[in-house]
Structure 1
């Protein structure tokens, strides 16, 4: 739990630093998050549950990455991101007797490299009209390409 609190404080600090640097045309930073597997390995006591209700939160793994963004002008920009995510699943921790007897498990590191073009179609400076110019509203659309690599592995038990 101490690690989770450390990550939350770090992400809030990095968000603040990112906002402080947002006035420049080029910025870069890190992404920190969580990843989890939702599928037929592991899960809860039932055979199948819809949406996220079959997910085991104890299997949550870290996700992290780097990004680089350059804005050519007020309307156009490009962002490149490199992300690493870890996922895992195991039947050893499920309460479902059939899944536990099956005894499957895996772990996987996913690497993704993506680039996207961004078009900022509308800008409102100083949302709320407070005269501080610290909160902007800039909706945008984007299109891009991404490549990823993964190689699931298992351990014999």
Structure 2
């Protein structure tokens, strides 16, 4: 249903943009990555695909504002870690994420597709939005939604929507009057520590009534049979927020005419 609403919304925006000036529409695709409790050291590690679309208004040749939707997959597994402590913890997750954001872009050079001397420009961006997430994990051949099994002994499931702050850098190149290609690298600070379902300490195992919750709360002994996740000891990395990133290529179409640009 969420994707259907977005599709209808984007279709309406494109229909409006086609009648306007100084508007752009675009699609993008690339990779998604994650920084958090199961990847504390590698900010460039990609873990899944990403794709989306946006509509943008160019206020000047240096500043624009866009509404963007992105879908991606982030994942992590302690079994791939080179750090022994993380390897022994043996947690894993896979999280589909959906992001909607309002983002301001700031071109370092004057950039007017098809009209300016500069056919390219570096730029940076910052914005605000929301992200919905639903971490899952495999256990004995089945996939479980970790939020609902409450692996850290929560009294209720944590929220699955959080505020997010996108920021990053990119490069634009206008290769044909109305058409441009954009490469960007954007990080996000998410105001949640549960993108990976890992945040606090190991819970008291005697409090679990669901055997799946108990099994997924402490996976340290799945290889050795010796479970070391003692109640109250650290399960996560101690940081209050997770992060994620998108590395994407975008293809854009600009609705413009000479008059609207030269009058600026």
TM-score by length of 2: 0.35
What's the offset of the Cα at 1:144?
A: 3.8
Equivalents in 2 of 1:98, 1:64: separation in Å?
Answer: 34
What's the offset of the Cα at 1:70?
A: 2.2
Equivalents in 2 of 1:121, 1:88: separation in Å?
Answer: 34
Secondary structure of the residue aligned to 1:123 is coil
What's the offset of the Cα at 1:156?
A: 1.6
What's the offset of the Cα at 1:102?
A: 2.8
Could you say which residue in structure 2 is the equivalent of 1:126?
A: 117
What's the offset of the Cα at 1:75?
A: 6.4
Could you say which residue in structure 1 is the equivalent of 2:137?
A: 154
Equivalents in 2 of 1:80, 1:144: separation in Å?
Answer: 10
1:145 equivalent in alignment to 2:128: yes
Which of 23, 34, 52 is the matching residue for 2:42?
A: 52
Equivalents in 1 of 2:104, 2:87: separation in Å?
Answer: 46
What's the offset of the Cα at 1:150?
A: 1.2
Equivalents in 1 of 2:83, 2:124: separation in Å?
Answer: 44
Equivalents in 2 of 1:100, 1:119: separation in Å?
Answer: 42
Secondary structure of the residue aligned to 2:136 is coil
What's the offset of the Cα at 1:88?
A: 0.7
Which of these two proteins has the greater Rg computed from alpha carbons?
A: 2
Question: 1:39-118 residue pairs with structure 2 within 5 A?
Answer: 39-41=36-38, 51-52=41-42, 60-72=47-59, 77-117=64-104
Q: 1:119 to 1:97 in 2, by over 3 A?
A: closer
Q: How many equivalent residue pairs?
A: 116
Per chain length, whose mean CA-contact separation is higher, i.e. which structure has more relative contact order (CA < 8 Å, sep 6+)? 2
Q: Which runs of 4+ in 1 moved over 4 A?
A: 72-76, 95-98, 117-122, 139-143
Q: 1:78 to 1:37 in 2, by over 3 A?
A: closer
Name structure 2 gaps, 5 residues minimum: 1-20, 141-264
What whole-Å deviation, never above 9, does each CA across 1:39-63 have from its counterpart, x for those lacking one? Answer: 443x6xxxx7xx428x7x5x62111
Secondary structure of the residue aligned to 1:92 is helix
TM-score by length of 1: 0.55
The answer on whether the counterparts of 2:47 and 2:76 sit within 8 Å (CA) in structure 1 is no
1:29 equivalent in alignment to 2:5: no
Name structure 1 gaps, 5 residues minimum: 1-23, 128-134
The answer on whether the counterparts of 2:28 and 2:52 sit within 8 Å (CA) in structure 1 is yes
Equivalents in 2 of 1:98, 1:136: separation in Å?
Answer: 46
